[in-house]
Structure 1
Amino acid sequence: MKRPLFNYTIEQLELEYKSQKNNPILLLALEEELGFRNSARAERLLNEVLLTISNNKEWHQESDRIESERTKQDQPKVDIDDLILDLSDKEGYNVISAWSALEVLSPQTFIKPQQLAQNGDVKLVASLQSGALPWEGLGEKSKLNYQLFYHIILGTIKVSESVDLLVKVYGDTNEEKPAKRGEAPIASIIVNNKGLLVEAPAVSISSFAWALPKALNGNLSKLGEWSQAEKKLQEGLEVILRGKGTEDEVLPLTLNQITDAYNWIIDTLALPANLVKPNLFAIRYYHYYKSGGSPEGLLLNSFYLRDLELTKKLIKENKITPILKKYLGLETPIKEYNLFENRKALEEAISPQNFPPCRWPCEGLHPLVLLQQAAVNLTFKNLKRNGILPVNGPPGTGKTTLLRDIIAGIITQRAEAMCAFDDPQKAFATTGQKINVGQGWLHLYKVDQSLKGYEILIASSNNKAVENVSTELPAINAISSLFPELRYYKILSDVLHGKETWGLIAAVLGNGKNKNLFIQRFWWDKEVGMQTYLAEASGNPQWIEEKNPETGEVVKPRKPKAIINDNAPPNAETAILIWRKIRQDFKNLLADSRSRLAALEQVRLQVLALPLLRKNEDENSKNSAVLLTRYTKEKVELTSIEEEHNQSNIEKQYIEKRIELHKQIKPGFFKRLFGSTSFEIWKLKQAELLNELEAKLLVIKDIYKRENQKSNDVKLLFSKYQSAQIAHRKSLSELQAANDVVVKSAAKIGNHFINEDFVGKEFKDIQLIAPWCNFEMQQIRDKVFISAMKVHKAFNDAAAQKLRHNLGVMMMVLSGKKMADKEKEQLIPDLWSSLFLVVPSISTTFASIERMLGNMPPESLGWVLIDEAGQAVPQAAVGAIVRAKRAVVVGDPFQIEPVVSLPDILTDKICKHFKIDHNRFNAPISSVQTVADATSAYVATFDSSNGFRKVGVPLLVHRRCTEPMFTISNLVAYDRKMVQAKKIGSSPIRDLIGSSKWFNVNSDSADKWSEQEGELVINMLLKIKERNLEPNLYIITPFLIVAENLRTLIYESRIMHGWVEDPDLWPNERIGTVHTVQGREAEAVIFVLGAPAAGQKGARNWAGSKPNILNVAVTRAKEVIYVIGNRSHWESAGLFSQLSSHLPK
């Protein structure tokens, strides 16, 4: 790089600055040159130069332009148009680029420094502003079994003020913008307990700090260049930080180095001085010693940036995955099937041939209803290799229930694949790769390809949703108490989840805290850990030495709980014997289930055939009757001809007799000779008789001909009639046989039977049907799943020796250990597959996917199940989708939309800049759910007040809310298509306060908060408390300021003290904006509207303009809702008119 001011002294540089302060070209050159100089004068001058640049927007833009020109000269520009992509891939690249640009402006924030620390512990925060650094001198001691590291924070940027500036520049149309509060670290550094930088990259840079000046200057095109800029910034900081002593000795970081690094990054990023704080502090981090390596850096940026960059790379290299093509809209369905209108497509979707051979045996053994079963069936029918199935789930329609059946089906598929191995050890191939651990080695084995593709990742943007699914799946009440044999590593699962469970079917991973907890409990726990269990199953007996607490002497050895409680086999030989028995049992059950489903499919085909069979029988009957009539008629005619023939023969014989008699009176010879008159008379008579005979013969000949023709016709008709009779008897027999089968099957299957009337029934009338499988069939399917879980345990037990090695290395990977070489890194998917063999489903937030699965290649996971997808920005799911072959996306675009803190005008401009449709790809209008919905061949349509909406496979049977909540939700969001299946339940709160109602409060307010509304809430709570009733309720509001004031009011009132277990926590958990309570439910809801003033019409209209807020608010209440607010103002606020019309005053 050229340095035009290289030969200038510091005095000359100062003179140049004073004389040419208005020259942006010189200022940029000074900034560049001073960056290479370390004197105090150079540092002061550099600060002045940067301050001058940052205070003048025009110079700043010119500086960007000049720097851009220089960048063009230093390295070739990568332009999307220069890439070798087809048109559709370019469009996909543009979508990813736009999402990346949005995400560089999405920082991670904190309000208090301890929020960056493990468990929010304030003792882990160390100030670096003055005094000795924590690692100087003797340094600090670590905790037992942990290594101490420090995350050094290089200043912070004020996020709220920064977003306000963006709003000032771009404007914002949103009435209630979610505040992005607190500060964001500008950069962070990791050092060990000696103050030495860890291996590169030891530095993390904030993309927000880099992007903010560019966005403020309107330079949106730069936002797509973050990945290149990040690398240069990291390298620049490390040059400053990696100081060397004599003979290249590595020295600990000093405060001067840290300060220099801070000044360099502030100056380099050209951040406005009023937005930054020289907030230098460190966060102590205790890293479990068995995890190896060093911890990951603090996450400063969007969780999704790296995966978006990975996806851009895949598109450029023409390696985009099939599922990602669908998600980005590069492939669309050839044909659509509207399940509300196309009854034939719906009937086929629920056909027995599409049923999985198993199901989840839930408590009560309730079957899935029509559309739930359709969604499960379509999942396995349409996603055999890859693809996306979006499921639209309104509140309380059984989304989790649906996911459980899908999980059961996937597990059973893998169990079948496991059964191909006579010896499970053969499923793990030796690779020759190994890792040294202390005095031994852990070998890495390749998992057979046939066992891959069944990994289940459960993901959501909502922490609560992730925890809910992963804690509900293994819960003891998630399965029927009728099956106590359904147990799967139960003791380990109990410890892992901290409650009683039935088995280790799921685990919550994702963030570092969850991963570390999982590792310690799942692997290292000597009582219940999998390492202990697998060692025993491998033939290495495990013992725990019980010691006398007073003397420390060993009293007696005993077996760990995992060995006893979970029945670990004592050796590999026993494990194989158990495996072969369980494998055969499973194969028998699976064959039985499939055979029964095949029989049901035959019944279905008979039902479908009935109309045709009836038509055939009717046609054959009519044909037979017609032929009989024709035959009868022709037969009569033939008889008539035969009679005519007989009569003619008689007449002929009579003529012949007359001729014979006439011959007898023939005159004698002489009379003939002499021509007597008598002879002449005789001859005339003879000729007359002969003519008569000839005429009769002609008549007979004609009659014979007609008789012959008619006889042939009769024979042919008779033959046709006989054939028609046979055909009729056959069709009648087929109809009777099919009808007998249908009648008998209908009697056996009961109300699960799908008959011919299905096609013609009203849509709502069929929604509660649980199609085809009666209780007996469902029991078979239950047993198949139970057996599949036994197969998994027996397989793992029999493969214990090799599985233990893979899992041992997998725990290192989870701890952050990096593989030493490419060969080992390529085996990471096999390590994950090994973990999924033991724990079938693993959950995480989208935010943690890249950090947890960053080294997993595309399509290395079988399935991703996305929950609450309507809440997630569309780019959030990219990391999960690109790593999976199949995705089931469950959510509801009519509930809470994604939260976006950036001004909508800015985000729309970014989308416009990258030439993508902001309505399709930009939150909050779009979400993971809406983008997935657009990929579906199976759809449903809702016509709401906000227009026509097309979604994926719908769920409609509602089981959460009674009236009026159900009807309000159904009217404002679901086009009256939901079906009520919830019966009114008991409600002590309703008994006390009364049925759902609107409490009208006329008040005024400058900031949407009404003290009078708050007082009414307190009075209601007091009334409930006085009766000593459980406060099983949520207090929610559309507005953040109202929620904050409600929390403060209730906290300061101390009303919860002496009432609930944790009175200080209750306001945070039970009071909030509507956005905070999706996925939750309670007996009652108090809906505090706020915005009571006449002048706050805009806020009210914002809340009522879409169904989302009102829909979520009312559907949190199972039994009763109380609305508090100014009725006369709110009832005209869009959809709140529906709320008013259904609630008494």
Structure 2
Amino acid sequence: MMNASSNRELSILSFWHTLEFFTPFDVKQKIETAQEEGGYRSFSIDELQELSKEKSIFEHIQGIPSDKEYLGATIYLNLFSNSKISKTIQDILQEELTEEEKYAQEIMDTDDGITCYASLEVDQNNALDIQKIQLSTLPWALGLSSKEGFSALNSERFKQDCQLLKERLSSINQWYRDTSVLEDNESVDENELSPAVLLEIIDSLNQWSYAYNANDFSYPIIGICLRWKKKSAHQEKSKDKNALKAYRKDGGDSQEEDDSILDEIGILNSFYAQDIHRIISKIGQGYANEALSSYLKMKPNKVCKDLYSEQGDELIWQVLRPKYWNRGRWLSEPAHGLSLMQQFAVNVFFKEREQAVFSVNGPPGTGKTTLLRDIFAENIVQRAMKLAELSTPEEALVKNLSNGIYTLKPELTGFEMVVASSNNAAVENISRDLPKQQSLGKMYQEGSYTYLQTVARNLVTQQSQKNIMPSSGEDVWGLFSCALGKKANRNKVVSGLYFRSKNIHKDEESFYDSLRTWRDNYHGVSFIQAKKAFHKQLELVEQRLSLLDDCFDLHERVVLKNNIKQLQQQYDEYKENLQYIEKEIGIAQEQLNQATQIEIATIQIDDRFATTILNAENHIQRYQAFLEDCDVQKKHWEHKIKSEECKKPGFFAKLFRTQDYKAYQQSLGEYHHQLAQLYQKESECKVSLQRYKQELQSAQHGQQQEKERLYKQAVNTAKSYLNAYKQQYSDCEQNLDRVTKDLEQAEEERQEYKSLLSQFPELKLPASYDELRQNDFQISGLWKDERLNHERSSLFGCALQLHEAWLAEVSKKNGKFAGNLAKLSGFLQGSAKLTNEQILSLWQSLFMIVPVVSSTFASFANQFQGLDAGSLGYLFIDEAGQAVPQAAVGAIWRAKRVMVVGDPIQIEPVFTAPIPLVRHLEKIARFTEDVTASPLDVSVQVLADKCNDYGANITQEGEAKWIGSPLRVHRRCLEPMFKIANKIAYEEKMILSETDPSKQWPDKKDDFHLGDSAWVQVEGQTVSRQFVPEQAEVVINMLINIVNVTGKLPELYIITPFKQIKHKLIEQVLASVDLKGVKGLCQWCNTRIGTVHTFQGKEEKMVWFVLGCDKTTEGAAQWAASKPNLLNVALTRAKRYVFLIGDQKIWSNKPYFKDAAKELPQISIDEFLLRLNPLTEKLSEERHLAVRSL
């Protein structure tokens, strides 16, 4: 069941996949190349119909030059103009381009080109396999969209239509074989390509593209590009085959040829469509890849860590602690360490291994390649650690997959390193520069550490077609990397690895080896010896790093956290507290003494007891008085009764109840009644009296208890205070003892820290975290230690030596790895039938020999076909800011971990599909608000930055943006280029490494000097779009002057924002009478004059930036100034000087260009032309004096 994350991934991938349908294939470049070599032929539809149907199309083409060897041809079918694409899209969408979009389209060359429906390949015998036709998805997508709308586009529909086309092409093949018979009844070669077959194929393509009629007869219907090469006097192919055959004997079976027909029709126009489709299918089946999921998630997995914040300062310090450092280091000068943020990026990359995608945001000249070198070195060291755990080299190979292919122990895999980019020059430069001796520090160029050096030399010789001798400045140190990708590169690598160069002399053979001859001639250390040396060197590195890590802990406690000062403050506080508590104890003791001496009876308490007692006493007194009165009254009535009884009448008075008797009874009764009442009252009074007595007793008891309670309370309180102060005193004493010990320990640590620092005299450490922002720390980094740098580089060298020793032993004849080596050659050339498991094993085997390989994204899917998700250990994407986001999908899918390096403030990715189409498909995709996937808006770098936990919040073009881990130290441009670029593009966060003004002067080897950078004010009217003839005239006049003074064309770039200016500049320079006859002028124009896009990734001492435009074309200037990218790239190509040539009235009020106008002094045309000075001895002397005066 698909989850929300998978649905999101599929939505984005499907959008990119649909976009790829509309990418035009550039036939124009192919045609122009063939025309330059005289190998281009074309036919219109009418010409094709008029040709003889019985003859091959190649019989209608003029013969091959006698000095050429024919290799075959490529036929491009149904040629049409790219402008037709925009027109069709506008017809479907009914939308016109905005002015800004028109300029963007111009830059992207959308309408300036020729494309086609399909291509066919024929071999040197003109034989054709019609099933191997390559199609452009573009006409099919345009035709289907025109008929049914964009919603009809999907990969399944394309697959179905391609299957129908394949069936029709098979029918054409069969029809031609059945009906094509020569006059003498001899069958025609079934593979021969006649005009009739071509017409049938063209008709089939028209049906396949839903009758989309792109060819308006302004272009031929087919274009044929012939391939040939100069004939060689000596052919050594048989020798090569024998050499390869001899090597295969070591590993087992000979190689099978892959002669199967492709299951899928090849896609001509998109390098990514088929791969994206396969990945969509895999995700739909439940497969996943953490790296690709992170990339498409477009947000970090954790809370972002802003490295430009205060918290970021402390985080940088923590990440840069020595225990996190890479043990392996490139063989660069020990004095030249990485800058602070370079080392931070390396440390985080290896520390945060669970983060599948990590991005480095590096402006130009900030050392992205330098950073990668240390990562490469560390990976080799880490794999060497696994190798060093083996008892014997053979333990590395664990499983036989048949055909002599063994798998590596899993612990040795996952270290594969691939460098990829959309820029072919960028990746090839990295992979071809790494093996050069010049890539090493001078102290390591003497050969102290080499790696398969003779094989590397052989490979470079094969690639460059010239011998590389040890004494030459072009020598190599090791087979550390190679450029793969396109088939031609792979074939060169196979030649370099498996065959000795053909042109070496006998006395030079010891300098060159194939893998087989290297193995046979190996006299290096044994595996056991290399392992021992590696362990020893690793121990040296660990010991040195351990000391530095101790220094980190001590510096953090002693300096950054100011431990001693804090402890001293605590000590003083505790001492003061002890004195205070001593006084309080005395007071508390006195209070206790006073409390114990108090008379309880004298204690004053609450009035409530006194009131109760008084009330009770009053009642008791009253009741006692009443009882006394009762006694008197009782006696009175008792006497009365006795007196009355004495007067008692006689018997007869009682009997007859006489009057006297009645009076007697009445009086006696009254007396008894009064006495009874007294007794009753007396009884009641006694009860009340008793009650009040009890109440009095209770109150008196309560009063006593309260006094006793208050007494005890006073005593206990005094005791409590006393005990509390005594406890405080004890605690304070203990704390004082602890702090005293801590102070003693801190002092010991301070002394230890001081002692440690004496072992690292080069160390400079920050007094606070925010000091890391200072230029010195940013440039020099932390933990600078030349000895450690040398030990780490030596460890890298030992790791390579261990790999070399391992390879020498496992590749011996009949050894397990020999079979892998034998299969590798055919595998790299694409001629081996292998399972996916065997393919993976062979790639892993190659990476054990060549640690780093490179490929363009365009070649990635083809090169690494058969590899599943996460098959490759590491993918490094270079120039990522210039790559469209979908280009990296297949590469990321195959990788476990990805490091993306680049700068989105350089040239934005060029995507050639019409802008309205991209926007429309984006609407159809219905992304959520947090998804920005359009190649018009984002690059590979931008998406990688979005999912990076480590980065920085910046403001670009008024918007807050998150960038990946930033590099800040710039080492290419001097002022004023640096200052302008830093301000317009990098929020002035970059730091200039070289600030010596004397460096601004030209080198001694320079031939001329034009003074300081400036803005040459040149006005004029445009005559061809943005082209101003007066500006071209200034350029040409200065070029003429330079050539007249120096005798040669200058080493500088002439850059412009607009293609039309480039074309007109080249045209007028080549047409200049004064420059005609100058050697290499045409090549100079093609390599030295171009748009900003042309020079992305390049650098030169001087740049002339020709702006063009006038009032009528100010919209173009406004577009060029809408973002900082164009100006930023132009400025940062110049290492020493830049000259803007244009009208300040047009440009100086535009964003970003106004900053350039402020920094660059304005000079006139005459002043500029008069500035030219040859570098004479006098100038050199002036330079010397100027430097001394600084």
TM tier, smaller: 0.7 to 0.9
- Equivalent in the alignment of 1:370: 340
3-state SS of 1:863 partner? strand
* 1:904-959 per-position Cα deviation (integer Å, ceiling 9, x unaligned): 22101111111236982112321011011101111112223443222100011111
- Equivalent in the alignment of 1:617: 567
Kindly indicate whether residue 27 of structure 2 is the aligned counterpart of residue 110 of structure 1: yes
Residues 319 and 347 of structure 2 are in contact (CA less than 8 Å); yes or no, is this contact kept in structure 1? yes
Deviation at 1:298, TM superposition (A): 7.5
Deviation at 1:333, TM superposition (A): 2.4
3-state SS of 2:1009 partner? helix
Identity of aligned residues (%): 28
Give the alignment partner of residue 14 of structure 2, picking from 76, 94, 97: 97
The separation in 1 between residues aligned to 2:70 and 2:407, in whole angstroms, is: 32
- Equivalent in the alignment of 1:923: 935
Q: Alpha carbons of 1:721 and 1:340: their partners in 2 closer, same or farther (altered >3 Å)?
A: closer
Residues 89 and 330 of structure 1 are in contact (CA less than 8 Å); yes or no, is this contact kept in structure 2? no
The separation in 1 between residues aligned to 2:133 and 2:818, in whole angstroms, is: 35
- Equivalent in the alignment of 1:184: 115
Residues 762 and 784 of structure 2 are in contact (CA less than 8 Å); yes or no, is this contact kept in structure 1? no
Residues 405 and 817 of structure 2 are in contact (CA less than 8 Å); yes or no, is this contact kept in structure 1? no
The separation in 2 between residues aligned to 1:894 and 1:121, in whole angstroms, is: 38
Give the alignment partner of residue 944 of structure 1, picking from 939, 948, 956: 956
The separation in 1 between residues aligned to 2:36 and 2:868, in whole angstroms, is: 33
* 1:809-867 per-position Cα deviation (integer Å, ceiling 9, x unaligned): 222122122416xxx33210111111111111111111111121122221111111111
- Equivalent in the alignment of 1:817: 831
3-state SS of 2:360 partner? strand
3-state SS of 1:827 partner? helix
The separation in 2 between residues aligned to 1:1108 and 1:558, in whole angstroms, is: 50
- Equivalent in the alignment of 2:143: 213
Structure 1 unaligned segments of length 5 or more: list them.
1-83, 435-442, 529-543, 547-556, 648-700
Residues 982 and 988 of structure 2 are in contact (CA less than 8 Å); yes or no, is this contact kept in structure 1? yes
Give the alignment partner of residue 1003 of structure 1, picking from 1020, 1023, 1040: 1020
Residues 369 and 430 of structure 2 are in contact (CA less than 8 Å); yes or no, is this contact kept in structure 1? yes
- Equivalent in the alignment of 2:632: none
Kindly indicate whether residue 1094 of structure 2 is the aligned counterpart of residue 1076 of structure 1: yes
Q: Alpha carbons of 1:628 and 1:212: their partners in 2 closer, same or farther (altered >3 Å)?
A: same
Alignment length, in residue pairs? 964
Give the alignment partner of residue 265 of structure 1, picking from 200, 205, 219: 205
Residues 392 and 955 of structure 1 are in contact (CA less than 8 Å); yes or no, is this contact kept in structure 2? yes
In the alignment, residue 1040 of structure 1 is paired with which amino acid?
Answer: K
- Equivalent in the alignment of 1:416: 385
Deviation at 1:643, TM superposition (A): 13
Give the alignment partner of residue 313 of structure 1, picking from 276, 281, 284: 281
Residues 243 and 251 of structure 1 are in contact (CA less than 8 Å); yes or no, is this contact kept in structure 2? no
Residues 299 and 946 of structure 2 are in contact (CA less than 8 Å); yes or no, is this contact kept in structure 1? no
- Equivalent in the alignment of 1:456: 417
Deviation at 1:283, TM superposition (A): 4.8
The separation in 1 between residues aligned to 2:864 and 2:206, in whole angstroms, is: 32
RMSD: 4.0
In the alignment, residue 522 of structure 1 is paired with which amino acid?
Answer: L
Residues 151 and 189 of structure 1 are in contact (CA less than 8 Å); yes or no, is this contact kept in structure 2? yes
Give the alignment partner of residue 1129 of structure 2, picking from 1112, 1117, 1138: 1112
Kindly indicate whether residue 1009 of structure 2 is the aligned counterpart of residue 959 of structure 1: no
Deviation at 1:478, TM superposition (A): 1.0
- Equivalent in the alignment of 2:487: 512
Kindly indicate whether residue 265 of structure 2 is the aligned counterpart of residue 303 of structure 1: no
The separation in 2 between residues aligned to 1:480 and 1:1119, in whole angstroms, is: 25
Q: How does 1:628-667 map to 2 (within 5 A)?
A: 628-630=578-580, 632-633=582-583
Residues 325 and 331 of structure 1 are in contact (CA less than 8 Å); yes or no, is this contact kept in structure 2? no
Residues 870 and 893 of structure 2 are in contact (CA less than 8 Å); yes or no, is this contact kept in structure 1? yes
Q: Alpha carbons of 1:327 and 1:790: their partners in 2 closer, same or farther (altered >3 Å)?
A: same
Residues 623 and 724 of structure 1 are in contact (CA less than 8 Å); yes or no, is this contact kept in structure 2? no
Q: Name which of structure 1's ranges 515-524 and 844-853 shifts more when overlaid on structure 2.
A: 515-524
- Equivalent in the alignment of 1:603: 551
Q: Name which of structure 1's ranges 316-325 and 261-270 shifts more when overlaid on structure 2.
A: 261-270
- Equivalent in the alignment of 2:1063: 1044
* 1:133-184 per-position Cα deviation (integer Å, ceiling 9, x unaligned): 27899x999999x996654443323323333443565433322422244333
Structure 2 unaligned segments of length 5 or more: list them.
181-186, 230-236, 245-254, 465-473, 598-711, 1163-1190
3-state SS of 2:154 partner? helix
- Equivalent in the alignment of 2:1151: 1134
Deviation at 1:1056, TM superposition (A): 6.0
- Equivalent in the alignment of 1:333: 301
- Equivalent in the alignment of 2:1034: 1016
In the alignment, residue 748 of structure 2 is paired with which amino acid?
Answer: A
Residues 18 and 154 of structure 2 are in contact (CA less than 8 Å); yes or no, is this contact kept in structure 1? yes
- Equivalent in the alignment of 1:157: 80
Q: Alpha carbons of 1:744 and 1:112: their partners in 2 closer, same or farther (altered >3 Å)?
A: closer
Residues 945 and 972 of structure 1 are in contact (CA less than 8 Å); yes or no, is this contact kept in structure 2? no
In the alignment, residue 937 of structure 1 is paired with which amino acid?
Answer: D
Residues 415 and 874 of structure 2 are in contact (CA less than 8 Å); yes or no, is this contact kept in structure 1? yes
Q: How does 1:712-1111 map to 2 (within 5 A)?
A: 719-720=730-731, 722-750=733-761, 752-759=763-770, 762=773, 764=775, 766-801=777-812, 802-819=816-833, 824-916=835-927, 920-983=932-995, 984-987=999-1002, 992-1006=1009-1023, 1007-1028=1025-1046, 1031-1053=1050-1072, 1062-1091=1080-1109, 1093-1111=1110-1128
The separation in 2 between residues aligned to 1:494 and 1:1056, in whole angstroms, is: 40
3-state SS of 1:922 partner? coil
Kindly indicate whether residue 167 of structure 2 is the aligned counterpart of residue 235 of structure 1: yes
Deviation at 1:644, TM superposition (A): 12
The separation in 1 between residues aligned to 2:364 and 2:713, in whole angstroms, is: 88
* 1:375-412 per-position Cα deviation (integer Å, ceiling 9, x unaligned): 11111112x25511111111111111111111111121
Residues 570 and 739 of structure 2 are in contact (CA less than 8 Å); yes or no, is this contact kept in structure 1? yes
* 1:23-58 per-position Cα deviation (integer Å, ceiling 9, x unaligned): xxxxxxxxxxxxxxxxxxxxxxxxxxxxxxxxxxxx
Q: Alpha carbons of 1:568 and 1:154: their partners in 2 closer, same or farther (altered >3 Å)?
A: closer
The separation in 2 between residues aligned to 1:714 and 1:870, in whole angstroms, is: 70
Q: Name which of structure 1's ranges 735-744 and 343-352 shifts more when overlaid on structure 2.
A: 735-744
- Equivalent in the alignment of 1:171: 96
Give the alignment partner of residue 490 of structure 1, picking from 453, 472, 488: 453
Q: How does 1:514-663 map to 2 (within 5 A)?
A: 514-525=489-500, 561-562=511-512, 568=518, 570=520, 578-610=526-558, 611=561, 613-614=563-564, 617-618=567-568, 620-622=570-572, 624-626=574-576, 628-630=578-580, 632-633=582-583
3-state SS of 2:898 partner? strand
Give the alignment partner of residue 134 of structure 2, picking from 193, 204, 215: 204
The separation in 2 between residues aligned to 1:706 and 1:257, in whole angstroms, is: 117
Q: Alpha carbons of 1:339 and 1:260: their partners in 2 closer, same or farther (altered >3 Å)?
A: same
In the alignment, residue 1113 of structure 1 is paired with which amino acid?
Answer: A
Q: Alpha carbons of 1:1050 and 1:300: their partners in 2 closer, same or farther (altered >3 Å)?
A: same
Q: Alpha carbons of 1:595 and 1:275: their partners in 2 closer, same or farther (altered >3 Å)?
A: farther
* 1:96-144 per-position Cα deviation (integer Å, ceiling 9, x unaligned): 1111111111132222655687x9854487989546327899x999999
Q: Alpha carbons of 1:585 and 1:244: their partners in 2 closer, same or farther (altered >3 Å)?
A: same
Deviation at 1:308, TM superposition (A): 0.9
Q: Alpha carbons of 1:328 and 1:713: their partners in 2 closer, same or farther (altered >3 Å)?
A: closer
Residues 41 and 225 of structure 2 are in contact (CA less than 8 Å); yes or no, is this contact kept in structure 1? yes
TM-score when normalising by structure 2 = 0.74
* 1:758-804 per-position Cα deviation (integer Å, ceiling 9, x unaligned): 33565556422411131122111111111112122112112213334
Q: Alpha carbons of 1:273 and 1:356: their partners in 2 closer, same or farther (altered >3 Å)?
A: closer
The separation in 2 between residues aligned to 1:523 and 1:115, in whole angstroms, is: 35
* 1:235-294 per-position Cα deviation (integer Å, ceiling 9, x unaligned): 332332245857999933452233212212123311215447421647558999889446
Q: Alpha carbons of 1:1102 and 1:224: their partners in 2 closer, same or farther (altered >3 Å)?
A: same
3-state SS of 1:1064 partner? helix
